[in-house]
Structure 1
């Protein structure tokens, strides 16, 4: 009896293929879902790297983060070393040449952004999260009113403006009640006092120490919440300062701290690689397992994961 091999293979093919698909489906079904990620970013306007470098022991909460995480005191601002240009770069993963915010107080891009996202501005980390995870909970807390102009407004779950004390309390309540994917807090001190009394003056140091206490309060809220084991906490700043000003090209104005702690972050690890302001957004996207927009030039900070 002749056997039609071709016909037999045609009949067996779907069965073999179906068996392969069933195996893959079973494998997918058995694979645990990715662990949720939660990130809290604490930013302090004008908190220079010199503040920590020259006064060891004065900032117990930030220094505890350094011991329990990865850090650099050579994180560089973009130019100019001014507020709006750098907060925008931190949130948007790119430099002023691309996002268009080029001055201290830019409320709108001073030049056309290279790309405009879904929220009418250069694409930033908040819009990226909302697009990738529509149900994500995100919060944006700030003192300086121009911060309202520097992120994907409308993409956040909650945004609040207030004094440094008020936004610390609001952010802590938000973390405890909502267990958000991203909480971004932008304190206005010690910048205000630096302009009035000088960077590293006794008055400036007093305000910097107050920021350290806020850091301790916020970290305690994270550690006492359900997200304690899955949360990353970052402390950083937009620029430093010299005398009573900033915006120039000195290291005192350009170098700021970047400190990160989290479940798989290397401990007591000094980051030796070059890092820039716009690498913050790229690092957040990497931690959240999100693909970065092509127009971003920021890179995830290397070597911080165990």
Structure 2
């Protein structure tokens, strides 16, 4: 009998688009090629971090959650919003669940995820951040959800241009950081019972070599992949799979009903069998 999914780890490479196919990413490819992987997933519009991470974590489009970079930089996400994040949904369904957010871009932790739903919250540069993630995993094997956001690729894109050698090198560096997180899961003997999702919030360099925000395919098209027990590894995600669906996939994996206002959906056939946590 296949192991159940006991926890979900989301790893996001900010601004990486689908450029992982153009540079060395042995850790990401080594995992996702044994799971489900697409290079044609679609970010939300506008292709800006707050809007895109907001949709991935709240399961609704930007015009519904209403977040943008200016708002998340100065305000905390309202606890009474009709559009809670998956963190808040999980915490309400299972108050004792351990939930942790590790974001190099700090506004995610205070402006996109509700404060009441984070048992552990860290904002650090990428290299330090993944060491904190690794330590947390070793000390908290019973964690239910970990969100990790790495900022290096987007910073390199803005500085050097998306698609340049320096930018691609930053994605390879981010892959090394992903490897640190995966190694921590393996050392704690948690990999076989974890659903790991790795993706990007948006790409860049479409209309402006050093930026993003438009609906240009290079800004909108991103990679998305997952690996875990009970996943249908023979499945091909539909062209244009929306990364917003990540929110619904996480709740399904943890056996938690998604709210009626969700726009996110679980792709039919993604879960090969019932490999989710018993709601008890």
TM-score by length of 1: 0.81
Helix, strand or coil for the counterpart of 1:283? helix
Alignment pair present for 1:200 and 2:168: no
Unaligned 5+ segments in structure 1 are: 1-33, 111-115
Helix, strand or coil for the counterpart of 1:46? coil
**Conserved? CA contact 1:76–1:276, under 8 Å:** yes
How far does residue 121 in structure 1 lie from its aligned partner after superposition? 7.2
Identify the residue that residue 41 of structure 1 maps to in structure 2. 10
Identify the residue that residue 71 of structure 1 maps to in structure 2. 37
> Relative to 1, partners in 2 of residues 1:67 and 1:75: Cα closer, same or farther, differing over 3 Å?
same
Tell me, in whole angstroms, the C-alpha distance in 2 between the residues paired with 1:266 and 1:225.
25
Q: How many residues align?
A: 264
Q: Match for 1:173 among 106, 111, 135?
A: 135
> Relative to 1, partners in 2 of residues 1:105 and 1:255: Cα closer, same or farther, differing over 3 Å?
farther
> Relative to 1, partners in 2 of residues 1:164 and 1:264: Cα closer, same or farther, differing over 3 Å?
same
Identify the residue that residue 20 of structure 1 maps to in structure 2. none
Which deviations, in whole Å up to 9, do the C-alpha atoms of 1:5-31 show, x marking residues without a partner?
Answer: xxxxxxxxxxxxxxxxxxxxxxxxxxx
How far does residue 268 in structure 1 lie from its aligned partner after superposition? 6.2
Supply the RMSD in Å over aligned alpha carbons: 2.1
**Conserved? CA contact 2:83–2:261, under 8 Å:** no
> Relative to 1, partners in 2 of residues 1:106 and 1:197: Cα closer, same or farther, differing over 3 Å?
same
Identify the residue that residue 81 of structure 1 maps to in structure 2. 47
Identify the residue that residue 124 of structure 1 maps to in structure 2. 85
Q: Match for 1:187 among 147, 150, 158?
A: 150
Helix, strand or coil for the counterpart of 1:272? coil
Q: Match for 2:114 among 152, 164, 168?
A: 152
Which deviations, in whole Å up to 9, do the C-alpha atoms of 1:252-280 show, x marking residues without a partner?
Answer: 00011111000112336542354213211
Higher RCO, Cα 8 Å, sep 6+: 2
Which deviations, in whole Å up to 9, do the C-alpha atoms of 1:58-90 show, x marking residues without a partner?
Answer: 111111122210011111111101110001101
> Relative to 1, partners in 2 of residues 1:80 and 1:109: Cα closer, same or farther, differing over 3 Å?
farther
Alignment pair present for 1:143 and 2:104: yes
Alignment pair present for 1:92 and 2:61: no
> Relative to 1, partners in 2 of residues 1:268 and 1:66: Cα closer, same or farther, differing over 3 Å?
farther
Which deviations, in whole Å up to 9, do the C-alpha atoms of 1:126-179 show, x marking residues without a partner?
Answer: 001101111111100011122120112221110011111111011111111102
Tell me, in whole angstroms, the C-alpha distance in 2 between the residues paired with 1:248 and 1:274.
16
Tell me, in whole angstroms, the C-alpha distance in 2 between the residues paired with 1:36 and 1:265.
10
**Conserved? CA contact 1:67–1:268, under 8 Å:** no
TM-score by length of 2: 0.88
The residue correspondences of 1:1-306 to structure 2 (distance < 5 A) are 35=4, 37-49=6-18, 51-55=19-23, 58-101=24-67, 103-107=68-72, 118=79, 120=81, 122-147=83-108, 148-179=110-141, 180-242=143-205, 243-267=209-233, 269-272=235-238, 274-306=240-272
Unaligned 5+ segments in structure 2 are: 273-280
Tell me, in whole angstroms, the C-alpha distance in 2 between the residues paired with 1:277 and 1:70.
13
Tell me, in whole angstroms, the C-alpha distance in 2 between the residues paired with 1:109 and 1:286.
32
Which deviations, in whole Å up to 9, do the C-alpha atoms of 1:2-57 show, x marking residues without a partner?
Answer: xxxxxxxxxxxxxxxxxxxxxxxxxxxxxxxx9562111101110111x12334xx
